[in-house]
Structure 1
């Protein structure tokens, strides 16, 4: 089992209908928390957005804190699966970085509330907040180490590189997708990959 999945406090639904209802609740919670924040968002608001009664909500979750935790886990699984699928047949690491960055930015375009949800989870549920990033870092570091072994990138501290690039991509998404959108994704991706490929030395 994926280590981050162990943090889930929700029993997996046994039917497709139950799974579909759970996903409706999580998507509704994403909209509710993205628009109103965790503290002003409400269970009644989530239920209304999901098109269910509050009684149905309580079949899956005990409280808002539980749904926030599961939402962060759901976003983590969804985004990691999307990124993995995007680069599954890409052998060149720099090409993988390019495709991965663009895929991430497109995800942010579709889910601009991601930043608010994650930032609020840092204070509501620090454990899942940390696990969200550490699970990404583990997979990223493994990929960089594999690229080193193939001779695709130079030797170096892959753990430090992992967190540096994750931080860079995080703030690129916030600056150029959430805050302002005057520059194209192609422009931003090209500039970022130029830095990754050539560094800062003249």
Structure 2
């Protein structure tokens, strides 16, 4: 029997000092996400984070001033990652309520692959309030831009700017509670959201926010 021979991959390009620095910064935050996701903010020590990241504790202080500093930067980091995932998942030709449906599904998909985000988000209000406030500022401002473009296209009618801001918090709340109640089983494992839940969400959008004035 002839043995298969694995092809040698080309020698990886050596990273520049700046690239190494960015990668180390990312590794620390990813390790912090795993630690906080499994043990919570209160038990997330620098030693646990650096051990998981595979770096010396001294190296940690080249990137973050303190334990609280990395905790303050964790949720905004994960939030930007989540928004990037949603943005790249949305087909460009989608508009109106179908775009909001795709946004919800992309959010749920991100949570399925990043289950630590649940705990990072919900404990942040107590353990990293600055990060929690920044995260929601970014979410709301991004949503304002999206719904503002929908208004310009004539997809949304009859809502003034103040009302649309209230709608944004309603949509964010719906997304959050749908994920908590329907996207996890009793053991905390990811599961598919039932079709009737998505259908109910879409009825609210098509008969409310995106209905003709």
Q: Normalising TM by the smaller chain, what interval?
A: 0.7 to 0.9
Q: TM-score, normalization: structure 2?
A: 0.80
- Mapped to 1, the partners of 2:107 and 2:198 lie a distance apart of 11
Cα-to-partner distance string for 1:9-52 (whole Å, 9 max, x where unaligned): xxxx9600110111111110000011111111211111111111
Aligned equivalent of 1:15: 18
- Quick check: 2:64–2:70 contact (8 Å CA) kept in 1? yes
Aligned equivalent of 1:148: 151
SS of the residue 1:185 aligns to? coil
Q: 1:57 aligns with which of 49, 57, 60?
A: 60
Q: 2:173 aligns with which of 154, 164, 167?
A: 167
Uncovered stretches (5+) of structure 2, i.e. residues with no partner: 1-15, 209-213
Aligned equivalent of 1:118: 121
Q: TM-score, normalization: structure 1?
A: 0.84
- Mapped to 1, the partners of 2:157 and 2:193 lie a distance apart of 27
CA shift, 1:94, in A, is 1.1
Aligned equivalent of 1:191: 200
SS of the residue 2:183 aligns to? helix
SS of the residue 2:142 aligns to? helix
1:182/1:97 CA distance change after superposition, 3 Å:
same
Normalized per residue, which structure has more helix? 1
CA shift, 1:183, in A, is 6.2
Q: 1:100 aligns with which of 100, 103, 106?
A: 103
- Quick check: 2:45–2:67 contact (8 Å CA) kept in 1? yes
Q: Which has the higher contact order (CA 8 A, sep 6+)?
A: 1
- Mapped to 2, the partners of 1:183 and 1:124 lie a distance apart of 28
- Quick check: 1:25–1:47 contact (8 Å CA) kept in 2? yes
CA shift, 1:91, in A, is 4.1
- Quick check: 2:182–2:194 contact (8 Å CA) kept in 1? no
28-37 or 145-154: bigger deviation: 145-154
- Mapped to 2, the partners of 1:86 and 1:186 lie a distance apart of 20
- Quick check: 2:184–2:191 contact (8 Å CA) kept in 1? no
Name which one, 1 or 2, has greater alpha-carbon Rg.
2
Aligned pairs, number:
187
